[in-house]
């Protein structure tokens, strides 16, 4: 196996794949990148058994073969090279020789056949989504997914496709985000739960991908294909909670406020909140929103007043400032609407502007009990 490749092009592809590799693997072979050469096409893969990602690049070669090469060693070496052609050549003694304009470097390789094969998806359903839309859907929801190993279904993002719309939901029981598109639809009705790790990998790459992403899925696995990248992952097994049931329908108290001003206020006031509860208090009356927090253990206290548009009964409600900050930071609108009913019922945040045609974002945050 022998090929010539641009060092910067190879590094760029390997850095994308590097995110798949775990710091500690049960199988030593998973610490490697799999190189599969077929004439002038080089396919490189990385896997952690749950997720396998591969990418293809053009190289100069007229040979074929496969080898698994240490990911850490290769990445550390490539980072130090200026852009130049590198020649890779496998030797008899299970080493691969890399030649650059500066010198030669030998590293051990494993037989490519030892590397686990990517899962093949039997009789899949298919949905096609523009890359930018999928990237937005992931970044708008993934922060709200849980980290509880005891409730694995809530540690991922729920994908729900129907012929009317595409919906993406994440929740950790304290906060919930629902992102939906009515301008893009599925061919048929389907739902599955995607784990966080492959979604974070996709989010990192899709930001500047203009092309469409083809998603193929069945009950157990999903496959994402775009440009020269293929990502296959195992889905989270289980039934997603009925999220529609927790979104309150009757919310007569409506608060409209400037998002940036409100976010900065919440950040400032929350510095003075209790370090265990992160509780802040919102008090609404007329055109005034009062935001306050206090930490009784240290006699720290803060209070701010904002001008707002509020329609409804005078209301006091407590929220965890970290959840509120995360949600406000994740929105891009200038103004937001917060709908509430009672101090013990969830508040609903929606952007008023800055939303595309056919795009809907609903964020729900559970209140915390106020110490009167």
Question: The pTM is what?
Answer: 0.93
Q: What is the largest CA-CA distance in the chain?
A: 81
User: Can you give the pLDDT at residue 250?
Assistant: 93
Taking only the tens of pLDDT, the chain with its 372 residues reads 999 999 999 999 999 999 999 999 889 999 999 999 999 999 999 999 999 999 999 999 999 999 999 999 999 999 999 999 999 999 989 999 999 999 999 999 999 999 999 889 998 999 999 999 999 999 999 999 999 888 999 999 999 999 999 999 999 999 999 999 999 998 889 999 999 999 999 999 998 788 999 999 999 999 999 999 999 999 999 999 999 999 999 999 999 999 999 999 999 999 999 999 999 999 999 899 999 999 988 999 999 999 999 999 999 999 999 999 999 999 999 999 999 999 999 999 999 998 999 999 999 999 998 875
Cα(342)–Cα(128) distance, integer angstroms: 41
CA 324 vs CA 68, 300, 361: distances in Å: 46, 20, 15
Alpha helices in the chain (DSSP H): 7-18, 71-78, 131-141, 196-206, 259-270, 321-330
What is the structure's pLDDT at 201? Answer: 96
d(CA 240, CA 247) in angstroms, rounded, equals: 15
| Amino acid 372: pLDDT | 59
Kind of pairing between the strands at 359-365 and 175-181: antiparallel
What separation, in Å, do the N-terminal and C-terminal C-alpha atoms of the chain show?
74
Q: Which domains does the chain have, with CATH numbers?
A: 2-114 (3.10.150.10), 125-245 (3.10.150.10), 248-368 (3.10.150.10)
């Amino acid at each position: 196996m022998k090929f010539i490749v641009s060092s910067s092009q190879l590094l760029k592809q390997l850095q994308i794949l590097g995110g798949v590799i775990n710091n500690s693997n049960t199988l030593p072979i998973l610490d490697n990148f799999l190189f599969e050469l077929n004439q002038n096409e080089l396919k490189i893969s990385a896997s952690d058994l749950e997720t396998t990602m591969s990418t293809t690049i053009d190289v100069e070669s007229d040979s074929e073969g496969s080898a698994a090469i240490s990911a850490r060693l290769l990445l550390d070496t490539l980072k130090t090279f200026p852009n130049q052609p590198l020649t890779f050549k496998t030797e008899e003694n299970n080493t691969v020789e890399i030649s650059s304009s500066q010198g030669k470097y030998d590293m051990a390789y494993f037989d490519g056949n030892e590397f686990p094969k990517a899962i093949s998806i039997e009789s899949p359903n298919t949905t096609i989504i523009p890359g930018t839309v999928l990237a937005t859907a992931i970044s708008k929801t993934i922060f709200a997914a849980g980290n509880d190993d005891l409730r694995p279904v809530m540690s991922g993002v729920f994908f729900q496709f129907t012929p009317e719309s595409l919906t993406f939901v994440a929740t950790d029981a304290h906060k919930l985000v629902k992102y939906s598109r009515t301008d893009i639809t599925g061919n048929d009705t389907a739902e599955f739960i995607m784990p966080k790790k492959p979604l974070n990998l996709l989010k990192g790459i899709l930001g500047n991908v203009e092309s469409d992403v083809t998603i193929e899925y069945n009950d157990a696995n999903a496959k994402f294909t775009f440009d020269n990248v293929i990502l296959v992952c195992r889905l989270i097994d289980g039934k997603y909670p009925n999220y529609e049931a927790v979104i309150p329908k009757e919310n007569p108290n409506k608060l409209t406020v400037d998002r940036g001003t409100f976010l900065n206020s919440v950040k400032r006031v929350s510095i003075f909140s209790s370090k265990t509860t992160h509780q802040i208090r919102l008090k609404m009356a007329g055109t005034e929103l009062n935001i306050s927090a206090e930490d009784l253990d240290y006699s720290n206290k803060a209070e701010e007043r904002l001008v707002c548009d509020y329609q409804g009964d005078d209301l006091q409600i407590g929220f965890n400032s970290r959840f509120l900050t995360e949600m406000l930071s994740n929105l891009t609108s200038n103004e937001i609407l917060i709908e509430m009913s009672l101090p013990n019922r969830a508040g609903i945040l929606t952007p008023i502007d800055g939303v595309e045609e056919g795009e809907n974002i609903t964020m729900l945050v559970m209140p915390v009990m106020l110490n009167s």
